[in-house]
Amino acid sequence: MLDQPDLFGDAADAPPAPARYPPKREHLLSPLNELLAASRAADQWPFDRVMTDLKIDRSLPRLLSYFPADEAERWRADIDAEIARLGRPEPYPSQRRAA
């Protein structure tokens, strides 16, 4: 049984991982500008709670990770100001942490 070959082959024989290319700058700026413009034009969150969570907690960090630190900080500060102005939506009951 020990002489049985590995089902997936030797890791050294695996093809190299494909190269990862950063997205184009305009593809990064478009959703950031849309988020900021929609937030600035609103008196309350222009998205439902699920979309707000998705945009702020998931998409925003990924988008900002492609920018230089100083530019990412400026975007984050602008968006954080809108979060503070509009208020963060309450989490769903299942997401609340026990005290």
With bands split at pLDDT 50, 70 and 90, how would you rate the model's confidence at 21? confident
Q: What is the pTM of this model?
A: 0.69
Whether 67 is in a domain gets the answer: yes
Number of domains the chain contains: 1
Decide if 56 is inside a domain: yes
Residue 11: inside a domain:
no
**If you write DSSP's letter for every residue of 26-82 in order, what string do you get?**
HHHHHHHHHHHHHHHT-SS-SS-HHHHHIIIIIIHHHHHTTS-HHHHHHHHHHHHHH
- List all residues 6 or more positions away from 75 whose beta carbon is below 8 Å from its beta carbon: 32, 64, 67
Residue 91 has pLDDT above 60, yes or no: yes
In a domain, 3, yes or no: no
Please return the burial class of 18, using the count of CB atoms within 10 Å of its CB with bins 0-12, 13-18 and 19+.
exposed
